[in-house]
Chains A and B, each alone.
Chain A
């Protein structure tokens, strides 16, 4: 780095600040803001084809996930046997179970809708892939949830599953008969993984925009091409959101 001659440098009156671009926190901030520009994190307007019930199931799935996490946090405070001996615990456990049922039902309908819409079109392959990963991660999380019910159902499932997992050679590391290990997988490791995948999935949806139905024209607002050249980090979706597409 070249430095100015000492004689030309001003007298320091206060400690010099490092330039913003020189810190990893500033770089991280720029990276996060580049993912979805500030002010465009949530959609204000959407293309006209989003006014359909089939576009509701993704966010319904997300809402179910929020209820799952909140009820699961409460359940974890009471312990694995709490719901057997407390009416409140039984209620919270039921909320947890039924929100999971809704989560999977809405996720699968979301998946059907996106599959028949070929939603990986328009450079949305990674959005589709992260959705699939979230689905498989959720299967594992639900499986470990069934294992920690501390009832005969959990015992039956774990004793059946152990044979398959042992045959696959992973029983020593993923021991479904170990309640403590399954508890950790269910309340800590897998939710973190699923949560991270879901965040990436949503960021990608915001960047690429929701997939249009087959045959529909994706909104291309006036001046979009010029705006895209000027601000290459903006996605077609954010441009459509900013410019607005009237139904």
Chain B
């Protein structure tokens, strides 16, 4: 337990950042935002699966 508590108390490095003028953002956050944009565009472009043909329809 002591080892785990010590491990939990270690600071986690913030990771690399990118900077454009006044804007500073971590690469991880930038990737998440870009991924969300990609998912948004795909949601608009990809066809939705056709509904199953039920016997009563």
Contact = CB atoms under 8 A, between A and B. Distances in A.
18 contacts: A52-B43, A54-B40, A54-B43, A54-B44, A56-B43, A57-B43, A85-B1, A85-B4, A85-B5, A105-B32, A108-B36, A109-B36, A109-B40, A109-B43, A151-B8, A151-B9, A152-B9, A152-B12
A178 interface: no
A247 B51 CA distance: 9
Interface in B41-57: 42-44, 46, 48, 50-51, 57
Q: Which of A53, A112, A153 has the most CB of B within 10 A?
A: A53
Contact of B48 (A52, A57, A85, A101): A52
Contacts, number: 45
Interface in B1-57: 1, 4-5, 8-12, 32, 35-36, 39-40, 42-44, 46, 48, 50-51, 57
Contact of A51 (B43, B44, B51): B51
Nearest to B39: A109
A108 B46 CA distance: 19
Contacts of A121: none
A108 B32 CA distance: 12
B8 A84 contact: yes
Interface residues of A, number: 19
A246 interface: yes
Nearest to A150: B8
Contact of A113 (B1, B8, B43, B46): B43
Contacts of B46: 53
